[in-house]
Structure 1
Amino acid sequence: MKTRLVATALLVGSMGAAVAQTAPPAAKPEDTEVYTPVPPAVTPGKTSSDAPSDALVLFDGKSLDQWTSTDNPGAPATWTTTGGVLAVNKGAGNIQTKRSFGNYQLHLEWRVPANITGTGQARGNSGLFLASLGKGDEGYELQILDSYNNKTYTNGQAGSVYKQIVPLANPTRKPGEWQTYDVIWTAPTFAPGGTVATPARVTVLFNGVLVENNVALQGPTRYIGKASYGAPHGPSPIKLQAHGDKSEPLSFRNIWIRELPAVGQ
C-alpha cells in the first residue's frame, strides 16, 4: 500500500510539473504595444480651415486648373474668380474636379449673398456632389441652401443628404456670412456581380457642428422617387452645382481635399 501511495504522489507531482511547464507566460504591457506601421507626419494648417501639408488644394483663390466642365469634360471650367472667391456661373453649368477620388476628407466654404431673395428651394440653391456620376445632377448630393430662417422640406435644407437624410441640426449663419462644410466621405463598394457590398457613408460638420454622423446612403440622389444604387462605379469626381434658380450666384473659397485609404487598410 505504501508503495502505491508513493507512486501516486509521484504521478500527481509529475502532472503538476507538466502543467506548470505549459502554462503561458504572464502578460506584459509591451505585448500590446505596436510600432509599425508608422503614421506619416502631417503639418496641420494654421487654423482648422487651412489646408494641411498632405492636402490637395482644389481652389486656391486664383486658379480653376483642378476643375472642368461637367457637361463637357476636358473643357475649362468657366465660373468666375475674383478676389480669391469662386462664383457660380449659372450659364456655364456644373463644374467638377478633373481628378477622381475614393474615400476622402474635404473642406469647403460657401456663401450666399447678403441681399439674397426668394424662398424655400429658390433661395441660394446649389449642391456639393460628393461623387459625380455624370452630366447634370447625377451623383450623391450634399445640399447647399440658405437655411437661415428659410422654411423648406427638412431633407432639402442645408446640411442634408438631399432627399435622403435630414441633418441633426441647423447651424446656418446669416446670408452674407461664410459657411463651412467639413466632410468625411466613404465611397460605396460593389461585389463582383454589381450588387452593393458596402453603402456610401458620410460624416458632415457644418460650421463646426455635427449634422451627419457616419450615415449610410441609400444610393445616388434622385429628385423624384427614392434613392437606390444602380450601376457600380469606382472613384469619382467631386461636383459643384449651378442650380439655375433666380437667386444671386453663390460663392465658394478655400476648397481642399485629403485622400483616405480604403476601410480596413
Structure 2
Amino acid sequence: MKSTKMVVGALLALCILGGSSAYTTFSKKGKWESLFDGKTLKGWKKWKGGEITKWKVEDGAMVLMEKGGGDLLTEKEYGDFELELEWKISEKGNSGIMYHVQEGEKYCCPYSTGPEIQVLDDAKHPDSFAGKEGNHKAGSLYDLLPPSDLTAVKPAGEWNKARIVINKGKGESWLNGKKVVDFPTQGPEWDAMVAKSKFKGWDGFGSFAKGSIALQDHGDKVWYRNIRIREL
C-alpha cells in the first residue's frame, strides 16, 4: 500500500511539474469581458474626446459609415491580454486594430504609439501591394511583419475572425483560426524591427506596456462585432 501511494504521489508530482507552465498560464487568465454589447457604443470614446459621429450600430455590429468619424478607443486600458473580434471590410477598404494606445498631447493619432494589426481588402486596396514583403496585408503587424499565410484572409464583404494576444513581451496575430504573425513587443528584436520601418524615430511608438485598444477610421466603411477581451 505504501509503495502504491508513493508511485501515485510521484506520478502526480510529475504531472503537476510537467504541466506547470500551461497550468500557470491558464490560472492567470482573467474572465472574458465584452467590449461591445451589440447595441450601443458604451465603453468606447473618440480619440481625444468629443461626440462620436459616423460610427453606428447596425445588426449587432459597430460600423464606420464614412470618413470623418475618427478613431475609437476603449475607455479602459489593457496591458497583457487576449482579444477576439470579427471584422468585415468594404471593397478597397482599409482599417486597423491597435493596442497600447496613448492619448498624450504630443501624439497625433493612435498609431503614433499603438502598433497595428492590419484590416484590409488585400485584393483591391493599393496599400496591399505597397508594403515591404507583404507587411501591409490583412493580419500583418503593420509595416513591421507580414502574415505567414496570405490565404487566411477572407475577401471584402465577408467576416474575418481576428485574435490578438499580447503577453510577457510576445505578441501573436491570428486570422480565421490561423496564427499568421509571431512578434516581440519589446527588447532588441523589437527595436531592430522598428528601426527598419516607417516608425523609426517615432517617440513613444510601441514603447508603452499598457494602453487602449483602438479601431481605426481610415476613411473606408468597416464593420466590427463580437468584440471581447480577457486580461492575462
Same fold, TM-score > 0.5, yes or no:
yes
Normalised-by-shorter TM-score class: 0.7 to 0.9
Counterpart for residue 216 of structure 2: 241
CA drift of 1:148 comes to: 3.7
Identity among equivalent positions (%) equals 27
1:254 to 214, 220, 226: 226
Partner SS for 2:86: strand
- Does the CA contact (< 8 Å) of 1:155 and 1:166 recur in 2? yes
Counterpart for residue 121 of structure 2: 146
Partner SS for 2:218: coil
2:224 paired with 1:224: no
Q: Aligned equivalents of 2:10 and 2:63: distance in 1?
A: 60
Counterpart for residue 131 of structure 1: 100
Q: Deviation string for 1:68-122 (max 9, x for gaps)?
A: 01132xx454311111111115312101000000100100111123xx2xxxxxx
- Does the CA contact (< 8 Å) of 1:94 and 1:241 recur in 2? yes
Counterpart for residue 3 of structure 2: none
CA RMSD of aligned residues (A): 3.3
CA drift of 1:145 comes to: 0.5
Counterpart for residue 87 of structure 1: 63
- Does the CA contact (< 8 Å) of 2:173 and 2:181 recur in 1? yes
Q: Aligned equivalents of 2:83 and 2:214: distance in 1?
A: 12
Counterpart for residue 13 of structure 1: none
1:179 to 151, 157, 160: 160
For the pair shown, which has the larger CA radius of gyration, 1 or 2?
Answer: 1
CA drift of 1:201 comes to: 2.4
Counterpart for residue 21 of structure 1: none
Counterpart for residue 81 of structure 2: 104
Q: Aligned equivalents of 1:242 and 1:107: distance in 2?
A: 19
Instruction: Tell me how many residue pairs correspond in the alignment.
Output: 199
2:139 to 156, 159, 176: 159
Counterpart for residue 66 of structure 1: 43
- Does the CA contact (< 8 Å) of 1:97 and 1:238 recur in 2? yes
Q: Aligned equivalents of 1:225 and 1:234: distance in 2?
A: 18
Q: Aligned equivalents of 1:61 and 1:226: distance in 2?
A: 38
- Does the CA contact (< 8 Å) of 1:111 and 1:179 recur in 2? yes
2:175 paired with 1:206: yes
TM-score under structure 1 normalisation?
Answer: 0.65
CA drift of 1:183 comes to: 1.2
**Which stretches in structure 1 are left out of the alignment for 5+ residues?**
1-24, 43-52, 117-122, 188-199, 261-265
Partner SS for 1:239: strand
Q: Closer, same or farther in 2 for the Cα pair 1:130/1:227, shift >3 Å?
A: farther
Partner SS for 1:28: helix
Q: Aligned equivalents of 1:165 and 1:216: distance in 2?
A: 11
